[in-house]
Amino acid sequence: DAKTTQPPSMDCAEGRAANLPCNHSTISGNEYVYWYRQIHSQGPQYIIHGLKNNETNEMASLIITEDRKSSTLILPHATLRDTAVYYCIVGGNYGQNFVFGPGTRLSVLP
């Protein structure tokens, strides 16, 4: 499975955009990029995923570089409730188990 590298922690001011980077230089052509987050001690929550194109939903936007070796999750207007650990995962859309690394701990500051 492709591995990902994320910064261990980041801060963001409330109301500003939070940009969380992820490196996945060994990603293969049919592997997707997935983002999950874990708020406090709750179970992880799916946020968004993408293959090549940029994606947007009601929670976030996902920007994938043209060479697909890195991506950025964007929370456009971070709130205190967005304080969580964010996991970037790469994998196929069938037949692979997701590997959750340590993720990025995002702290949204008032």
Partner 1 sequence: NAGVTQTPKFQVLKTGQSMTLQCAQDMNHEYMSWYRQDPGMGLRLIHYSVGAGITDQGEVPNGYNVSRSTTEDFPLRLLSAAPSQTSVYFCASSYSWGAVGYTFGSGTRLTVV
Q: Which stretches of the chain bind partner 1, using CB under 8 A? A: 32, 34, 36, 41-46, 49, 87, 91-103
Residue 14 or residue 23: which is nearer to partner 1 going by CB?
A: 23
CB of 15 to partner 1, least distance (A): 28
Burial 23-61 (b: 16+ CB within 10 A, else e): bbeebeeebbbbbbbbeeeeebeebbbbeeeebeeeebb
CB of 109 to partner 1, least distance (A): 21
The rounded distance, in Å, linking the Cα atoms of 40 and 43 is 9
CB of 10 to partner 1, least distance (A): 16
Joined together, the tokens standing for residue 91 give 């994998």
- CB of 74 closer than 8 Å to CB of 61: yes
Residue 46 or residue 56: which is nearer to partner 1 going by CB?
A: 46
Residue 41 or residue 110: which is nearer to partner 1 going by CB?
A: 41
